[in-house]
Structure formats: C-alpha cells, structure tokens
Structure 1
C-alpha cells in the first residue's frame, strides 16, 4: 500500500465495511439471570476473587504468645526463624518477652548470631518509647548474657547517638 493511499484512509476515516463501531448492548433479563456477574450492583462486577478469612482473626494476646512460642520451639533452620520473626513483628503489637526468649533460643539453636542481634533492633523499632525498650532489655538481660548476644548499640556506639 502506498503512502498516498494510507493518507487517503486516514483523512476519510474508517469505512463501515472494514471497521465496525462498538455499541455496548445492555444485557437482557434472561442473560443476567444466567451470568450473575452481569447483575447491576453485584459485587462480582469488579472482583472475582473470594474473600479469605484469617484463621487468627480473633486471637488474644495470650494465644498469639503461645502460638509463636511453639513456632520458635520447632524452628529447624535460619529461613524458618527469619520467616517467623517477620510474621511476629508484622502484627500491630510488640511480642512478649517469652516470645523473644524463644526466638533468641531458636537463633542460638540454628547458630544465627546476626538474627539474634536483629531481634533487639526489631523490638527497638516496635516499642513506643525508649523506656519500654529498656524494660525489654532488663527482662532479657540474663538470656542475653547467657547466649553472649551484644546489642547493636554496644557494637557500634558512635551510631547510637
């Protein structure tokens, strides 16, 4: 096709025989009865995914603590440890000292010292103020000394200021 004929088609516009105009047709009552997504106001008009409910939707803090203590007790490798820590810290709460104790013991069991130090960084980021962080440190001081875990503030004192 030469450039002149392309220009002619562009100037004239599409012909009825080559292109068809799209005209939306409202569904009839019969077709709407067959396909539930065509019903006006149906929630199926925008999404076809099924809403999922969490199995831990109405979980109390005590149930949360017991569940994560059990999960950290069964950790076998670094991936599981870090996945459980990410999941525990993803909630809108700070894990209890007993959960952190189980996480620190799991870090020692899988021989992952950096993750043990990062547990305390996660707590520091999660608490509301420095006083709460100090309470966690005093609560877990004996375990920290037993496992030989040094805090990031002690490792890099110039960054703590």
Structure 2
C-alpha cells in the first residue's frame, strides 16, 4: 500500500515539475563526446600534476583515474606526478604510483618498463627516490616456497 502511494506521489511530482524520464534519456543519448588528441590529454594531466596548489586527495584521484584507464601514462606524466608527490612530501604515494604504472604495462612489462625507467631515471635521481624493485617490493617478504618448485 505504501509503495503504491509513493509511486502515485512521484508521478504527481513529475507532472507538476515538468520532469519526464524520456527527456533525460534522450538528452544523454544525444550528448556528444569530446574528442581529445593524445598530446592534449598528456598536456592536461601534466598541467594538472604541475599545479602548485595540488593536494594529496587531488593527486591520488588523478593517479587513480589514469591507472583505471586502458593506457600506460607517458613518461612526462609520470615525472610530473613524481614531482607532485615530492611537493606533497609523500614518498609512499610516489612508490605506489610507480607500482601502478608498472602494473599497467601488463604482459608487456619486460619491454615497456625498462624504457619507462630509462626516461624517468634522471628525475628519480634528482628527487632521491628508488624504484619498487630497488626497495625489494617486487618480491614478497615472507612468502613460502611453492610446492611445485620443491
């Protein structure tokens, strides 16, 4: 009974405010997507990370968005993000960012990751940072030997 009354109330409210469900769906379907070139995309994220007033939440959000996309960030974006981590004084975030970029290489990690390290190495040296592999984070600390390798 309550559900029927609530449904009637919603229908009355829609009619009085002029909101129609089909109009919203049509607007969504007819909206156009922006077309952004790769260089514009890279420049947008690089400028975002180079902002002087970026905070930890904004940096994490942008990194999470980038790692959620089906792409590997360009080295200049990775460098800008590492410098943002340095400005935020967040070493752990920088290491997690490098781990995420390495994971986004997927099954081509042996080909792409050495190139990425070659490109970002001067920045890592300038900032005094190490890679996850240099810190030993690529190997589990307390892992047991596999029964198939015994």
Pairwise same-fold verdict (TM > 0.5): yes
Aligned to 1:80: 58
Pairing 1:135–2:115 present: yes
**TM-score with structure 2 setting the length:** 0.67
Partner residue of 2:28 out of 35, 43, 51: 51
Gaps of 5+ in 2: 1-17, 144-150
Whether contact under 8 Å (1:153, 1:159) holds in the other structure is: no
Partner residue of 1:105 out of 80, 83, 99: 83
RMSD: 3.0
Aligned to 2:13: none
Partner residue of 2:73 out of 64, 71, 95: 95
Structure with the higher helix share, 1 or 2: 2
Q: Distance in 2 between matches of 1:61 and 1:152?
A: 28
Identify which of structures 1 and 2 has the higher relative contact order when contacts are C-alpha pairs closer than 8 Å and 6+ apart: 2
Q: Distance in 2 between matches of 1:100 and 1:137?
A: 10
Per the TM alignment, residue 90 of structure 1 is displaced from its structure 2 partner at its CA by 2.2
Aligned to 1:10: none
Structure 1 moving runs of 4+ over 3 Å = 47-50, 52-55
Paired residues, number: 120
Closer, same or farther: CA 66–111 of 1 in aligned 2, 3 Å: same
Per the TM alignment, residue 76 of structure 1 is displaced from its structure 2 partner at its CA by 2.3
Gaps of 5+ in 1: 1-34, 38-42
Q: Distance in 2 between matches of 1:103 and 1:77?
A: 12
Aligned to 2:140: 159
**TM-score with structure 1 setting the length:** 0.63
Which protein shows a greater Rg? Answer: 1
Per the TM alignment, residue 88 of structure 1 is displaced from its structure 2 partner at its CA by 2.0
